[in-house]
A and B are shown apart, each in its own frame.
Chain A
Amino acid sequence: MPQLGETVAEGKILAWFKSVGDEIKEGDDLFEVETDKVTIEVQAIVAGRLSEIRVGPGATAKVGEVVAVVGDGGAAKSAADDEAPAAKTAPWRSPFEEVSTPTERYGPARGPNGVSLTPVARRLVALHGLDVAGLVAEAGRRGAKKIDGPAVRAAIAARPATAPTAPVAPLPAPSPLPVQNGDVITLNTVRQRTGERLAESWRTIPHVFQAIEVDFTAVGRVRRKHKEALQNAHGISLTYLPFIARATCLAIAAFPQVNARFDGKELTLSRDINLGIAVDLDHNGLVVPVARDAGDLTLIGLAKAIRRQIDKAKAGKLSPDDLSGGTYSISNNGAFGTTFTAPIINAPQVGILSTDSIRLKPAVVSTQEGDFVAPRMIGMIGQSFDHRAFDGAYSAAFLSRLKQILETRDWVEEISSDL
C-alpha cells in the first residue's frame, strides 16, 4: 500500500485489475485504492508474475503493508510470517505527538458576570458567529451559572432563518511572546506574474461560484475497461480529465456564452474552443497551457492533447502560443482529495471549470424496482463565472447539461471509434 497523502494511514482496495498468476509489466495498473482523501489506481513498479494477493477487494491495508507479491516473494519465510504483515508500517505519528492537541482557541471560558461556558459551547458560539457577550449577559440575568452545548444549540436554532450562518474563523491564539520571524520565501517570476494576474482578475471580475454533483460511475467503468487497450494503442493513461474536457466541449456547444471573452462592455463568443488546462508546477507556480480546437477533438484526441500540454508545462517547454488564445479553462484538483474548489477566472475569459476528487459515496439510485442507496463514484464539478457575462440560471443550466453528458453519454462508442 503506497503512501497516498501525508496524513493517510491506510487505504481500502476497491478492485484488483490483475489476478494471481498474471504476468505484470512495470506501469500496469494493479489495483484501485480509496483513502479518506483520494481514489487512485496504483501501478506496478516491478515486472513479474503476480504470485500472491494478500489484501483483497473491499479489504483495508495500512500504508506500507504488503498487499501483493510480484515474483517469488524473495527468501523462504518462516511460519511466523503468516500472521504478521511482512512489511514495516510507515511512521504513523511522531513519538513526541502521541496525542493530537488541538490548536484552535474559541473565546473566553468565563464572562465578566461570572457565567462560564463549556468548551463545546465556546466552539459552537464562535463557529456560528453568535453574540457571545449577549448570550453571557442574558444568562447572567436569568441566574444561570453556565452556558452549555444544549443552550448554544437552542440559541442557534432560535435565530431567524434568513440570517446566513457564515462560519466565523476561530480567534487566533493569543501570543504573549513577540512574533518570531521564520524563513523568508521569495516568489519566483512565474509565481509573481501569476499572482499579479490572479489579483487583477479577482479585483475586476464579480466571481460567482456554482457546483453540481456528478455521478462518474459509468465513466469510471469505461475508463477501467479500456485503460489497458488505450495504453497499448496510444500510450496514454486515461484519467477522468479527458472525459470532463470532452463533456465540457459538448456542453459549450449548447451554452456558447461560457466560451467567450468579455471586455467590460461586449461579450464576444468564440467559435473555437481553446481549452486551458491549469497545471500546478509542483507548487512553484501555475500555468494554463491551451489545448487548441478542443471542440474538434475526440475523447482520445483530447486526452493526448491535454497530456502533451501538461508534459510540456512540467518540462518548462511551453511556447507563447501554448499560453495564449484560451477561451475557457479547467482547473483539475482531484489529486489532493478536495471536495470543491472555487477557482479564479483567467481574464478575459468568463468562466472556469473546477473538478475535485471523485470517490465512492453513498447515493440514491432510482430503478424500476424502487429507490436504493448504492455506492457510486461521485465528484463535484464547479464553475466560477463572470456575473457580468451571464447569470446564475445560465451557468446552472450549463452545469446541468455537463452533468447529463458525463452521466449518460455513450462513452464506449466514443472510445471504440479510436481504438
Chain B
Amino acid sequence: MAELTYRDAVARGIAQEMERDERVVFLGEDVAKAGGVFKTTVGLYERFGPLRVRDTPISEQAILGAAIGAAMTGLRPIAELMFADFLAVCFDYVANEMSKLRYMSNGQLSCPLVIRTGNGGGVRFGAQHSQSVENWTMMIPGVKVVAPSSPVDVIGLMAAAVRDPDPVILHEHKALYAFKGEVPDGEVVDTLGTAKILRAGRDCTILALALMVPRALEAAEILQRDHGVDAEVIDVRSLVPLDTQTILGSVAKTGRLFTVEENPRLCGWGAEIASIVADEAFWDLDGPIVRITTPHIPLPAADHLEDLALPSSARIVDKVRRVLNG
C-alpha cells in the first residue's frame, strides 16, 4: 500500500499500461518533456522515450484525429485534452467519428483509444477552463465515459479504459489532482460500468461523481451527526456504461434519491438517472427525486462566486435535510 496523489496516480496508471503493452502510446500538448501542465505525466517521457510519449502542436482536432487513425490501424493510444472544455474545439471527433465508425462500417473499423482530459472547476480558471462536461460525452452513443474520484480509481479506470476495445473518455478532475489516497502495490485494474457504494445507509441515496464525491461523503457525516439522517453515498464513477442495478438496488432500500452534479443544471448526468429511477423504480420512491447542481450559468472566476456556484457539502446537507423533513 502507498499513499499517492491523484496526479501521480495518472502517471502511474499510464505507465502501468505502457509497460504492459507496447501498442500503448501517448500524445498531447506539453505532456512529454514538460510532464503535463498539471504535472500529471511527469516521468513518462524519460521512461518510455520520444517515440511513445509525444508532444503535439496546439491542434486538438489533429490530436484526436491522430489518436483515431492510430487506434484504427493497430495501436492503443492515449490522447490528452488539456482542459475538458476543449472537447468543444474537436467535438467532431467525439460526436461524429470515434463514436460512429464501427457502426457505419458494419464492424470493420474500431477505435480502441482513451481520451483523458482535465475536467471541472473550483480552481479559478474562469468560465472557459472550469466546466464539468462529462454530460456532453455521455449523450453520444458509441463512446464510454468514466470520471474517477480517487487515486486508486484513476489507475484502475485508466487501466480498464486502455484495455477496453471501445473509445473511452476519462474525465480527471483538476481540483482533485492534489488529493491523496491509498493505492495498493502492484497492478491495479478496475471494471468500467461499475458504481461503488462508499457509505452504506438507510434513509436516502446520494449519487455523486468526481469532485462531488468527497463533498457528498462529508455531507453524509454531518447529516448523521447533526440530523440523524443515515445517507447511502454512491460514487457513480461510470456514466457509460451505467451501473443502473446498483443505483436501483439502493433506491429500493432507501426510497429517496439525491444527485450531486457539478455540471450546470440542464441535461446534467443526474437528469438521465433521475428519469430512469422515476420510471423503473417508481414504486420504490417515497418522495421526489432531487438534483443538487451548479446553477445554469457560466462559471465566474472570483473565488467566492465560484464556490457559491459549485455544490458544497453545506448545500448538500441543507437540501437533503429540508427535503426529507418536508
Residues from 91 to 147 in A contacting B, C-beta threshold 8 Å: 99-102, 104, 106, 118-123
Judged by a CB distance under 8 angstroms, whether A322 is at the interface is: no
Q: Which of A50-87 contact B (CB under 8 A)?
A: 79-80, 83-84
Interface residues on B, range: 10 to 19
Q: A residues within 8 A CB of B112?
A: 80, 83
Determine whether the beta carbon of B279 is less than 8 Å from that of A119. Answer: no
Q: Which of B110, B275, B280 contacts A80 (CB 8 A)?
A: B110
Contact status of A149 and B279, CB under 8 A, knowing A83-B165, A84-B165: no
Provide the residues of chain A in CB contact with B284, threshold 8 Å.
119-120, 123
In the assembled complex, B305 has its CB within 8 A of some CB on chain A = no
A106 x B283 contact (CB < 8 A) = yes
Report whether A119 and B165 are in contact in the complex, using a CB–CB cutoff of 8 Å: no
B187 within 8 A of A: no
- Does B164 touch A at the CB level, under 8 Å? yes
Task: Give the contacts of B92-150 with A (CB-CB under 8 A).
Answer: 110, 112
Instruction: Check if B282 is an interface residue, CB within 8 A of chain A.
Output: yes
Q: Is A41 an interface residue (CB 8 A)?
A: no
**Chain B binding surface, main DSSP class:** loop
Tell me the smallest distance from the CB of A85 to a CB of chain B, in Å. 10
* A contacts with B, residue count (CB < 8 A): 19
Interface contact B276-A99, CB-CB below 8 Å: yes
Candidates A79, A83, A102, A150; contact of B280 at CB < 8 Å = A102
On whether the beta carbons of B286 and A119 are closer than 8 Å, the reply is yes
* A148→B23 CA distance, assembly (Å): 57
Most chain-B CB neighbours within 10 Å: which of A99, A101, A106, A122? A99
State whether the Cβ of B13 lies closer than 8 Å to any Cβ in chain A: no
**Contact present for B164 and A119 (CB under 8 Å):** no
- Provide the bound-state CA to CA distance between A119 and B280, in Å: 12
User: Given that A100-B280, A101-B280 are known contacts, is A120 also in contact with B165, CB under 8 Å in the complex?
Assistant: no
**19 contacting pairs across A/B (C-beta < 8 A):** A79-B23, A80-B112, A80-B165, A84-B165, A99-B276, A99-B280, A100-B279, A100-B280, A101-B280, A102-B283, A104-B283, A106-B283, A118-B286, A119-B282, A119-B285, A120-B255, A120-B286, A121-B286, A123-B283
Interface, chain A (partner B; CB < 8 A): 79-80, 83-84, 99-102, 104, 106, 118-123, 148-150
Q: State the B residues within 8 Å of A (CB).
A: 23, 74, 110, 112, 163-165, 255, 275-276, 279-280, 282-287
